[in-house]
Amino acid sequence: MKTREKAIWAVLALTISLGLIFSCGQVSYAKEKESYKVGAVFSVTGRASFLGEPEKKTAEMIAEAINKAGGINGHPLELVLYDDESDETKCVLAVRRLIKTDKVPVIIGPSLSGNTLAVVKVVNEAQVPLVSCAASNKIVTPVDERKWVFKVPQSDTHAVEKIYDHLLKNGINKIAIMSVSTGFGASGREELLLLAPKMGIEIVADERYGPKDTDITAQLTRIRGTDAKAIVNWSVGPTQVLAVKNWRDLGMTNIPFYQSHGFGSRKNIELAAGAAEGVFCPLGRVNIPNLVPADNPQKKVIEEYNKSYQEKFNEPLSSFGGHAWDALYLVIDALKVVGPDTAKIRDYIETRTKFVGQHGVFNFTPADHNGLTKEAFEMVVVKDGDWALAP
């Protein structure tokens, strides 16, 4: 009996032992892979919240979808996101924290040109790639001083070229320009002045205003006293809506009004309360999914993004959320191929071509860290409270 009991216990012990080994093996194989971190800095609050809020929503929506689908090659995507509150100093602190404390291998954002320019030196010295969601051409030029910096919005250079092409097409070569005294406004003004003589445009008035100004009628009144045949305004936020309202209130609609690509949100049309009717601007195709031809390579991703965003947040999307889409998916594309290695991510992005995004088909090179041309824009006009292709 004792011998039989011993045999039974031996069998049970062996069974339990094998079970534990099998169980441990299951735990080992099922153990989640290490997450891939991506840093993000957006102006979620503050004066540029109209940029940062849709960027944050978009980035979080993408991260959620990626993880629900199994992550990046099985690695969960960990989005480490900070709000710089539209402040340059806080932006620099956030980027430093992402690099030194969070140890991220790559960063997307910031939202603003000025904030991005403030962190260029930080990321270059740390040798961590950054994909900016801001537009100024200075963010990526000169390239030899911006080795670790890329950007996805079309450059102000491209926007100016598109606007000037449209003006000349309509027989207009004398214009007035207006710009806000911020990094974005200064960069746009510089391109407007630089490209005008090269493209046969004469600037007969050059007016400026502050980002917190509440009245721009004085600048517009001075323009009315010139022989300008069109006005080009370069700003983002409340002032671009204010400029349109003042233009209409002064009865200056006989002088065509052009906005920069910073006007790319239907909220601006709503805030203008009818005053934006007839206003022209260059926009990325993400804003006009219904107007994009079926054979355009961007059509599919634009429609999918529009559908997902509007279903999730019950609001129309803007160019700015599209910037976050382009930046994050570009980084995800790199992580799939090279993993979380900072140098390899940088090198991969620098040579990435035919990347289909919300704002164009990107072709990066060592000499071009934006990868777009003016063809990434469509000229549109506000018609019946919505966008329409400009004649």
Q: What are 176-221's pLDDT values in tens digits?
A: 999 999 888 999 999 999 999 999 999 999 999 999 999 999 999 9
Tokens at 116, concatenated: 């991005």
Whole-angstrom Cα distance, residue 261 to residue 380? 10
Q: Residue range 228-241: average pLDDT?
A: 95
Q: Give the per-residue pLDDT at 28.
A: 35
Radius of gyration of the chain (CA): 26
What is the pLDDT of the chain when averaged over all its residues? 92
Whole-angstrom Cα distance, residue 96 to residue 74? 28
Query: In which element (H, E) is residue 72 found?
Result: none
Q: Residue range 74-100: average pLDDT?
A: 98
Q: Give the range with max mean pLDDT: 10-14, 16-20, 155-159, 330-334.
A: 330-334
Give the residue with greater pLDDT, 237 vs 193.
193
Q: Residue range 83-91: average pLDDT?
A: 98
Whole-angstrom Cα distance, residue 127 to residue 146? 10
Q: Give the per-residue pLDDT at 11.
A: 42
Q: Which domains does the chain have, with CATH numbers?
A: 36-154+295-372 (3.40.50.2300), 157-291+378-389 (3.40.50.2300)
Residue 85: band (very low, low, confident or very high) from pLDDT cuts 50, 70, 90: very high
Say whether pLDDT at 4 is over 80.
no
Q: What is the DSSP string of 112-132?
A: SHHHHHHHHHHHHHHT--EEE
Q: Give the per-residue pLDDT at 27.
A: 36
Whole-angstrom Cα distance, residue 267 to residue 271? 6
DSSP one-letter code for 374: G
Whole-angstrom Cα distance, residue 85 to residue 72? 30
Say whether pLDDT at 233 is over 50.
yes
Residue 154: band (very low, low, confident or very high) from pLDDT cuts 50, 70, 90: very high
How distant is the alpha carbon of residue 219 from its chain centre? 30
Say whether pLDDT at 14 is over 60.
no
CA distances from 271 to 157, 229, 242, 243, 381 (A): 27, 26, 9, 12, 16
Q: Give the per-residue pLDDT at 18.
A: 36
Burial 91-114 (b: 16+ CB within 10 A, else e): bbbbbeebbeeeebbbbbbbbbbb
Q: Give the per-residue pLDDT at 329.
A: 98
Percent of the chain past pLDDT 90, that is, above it, reads: 86
Tokens at 379, concatenated: 């000229």
Q: Give the per-residue pLDDT at 32.
A: 73
Say whether pLDDT at 19 is over 50.
no
- Assign 103 to helix, strand or coil: coil
Residue 15: band (very low, low, confident or very high) from pLDDT cuts 50, 70, 90: very low
Q: Give the per-residue pLDDT at 255.
A: 98
Residue 390: band (very low, low, confident or very high) from pLDDT cuts 50, 70, 90: very high
Q: Give the per-residue pLDDT at 240.
A: 94
Say whether pLDDT at 81 is over 90.
yes
- pTM recorded for the entire structure: 0.84
Closest CA to 91 of 99, 79, 102, 82: 82
Q: Give the per-residue pLDDT at 31.
A: 52
CA distances from 93 to 23, 100, 120, 310 (A): 46, 10, 13, 33
Q: Give the per-residue pLDDT at 107.
A: 98
Q: What is the pLDDT of residues 288-329, one digit of tens each?
A: 999 999 999 999 999 999 999 999 999 888 889 999 999 999
Say whether pLDDT at 8 is over 50.
no
Tokens at 195, concatenated: 């490209």
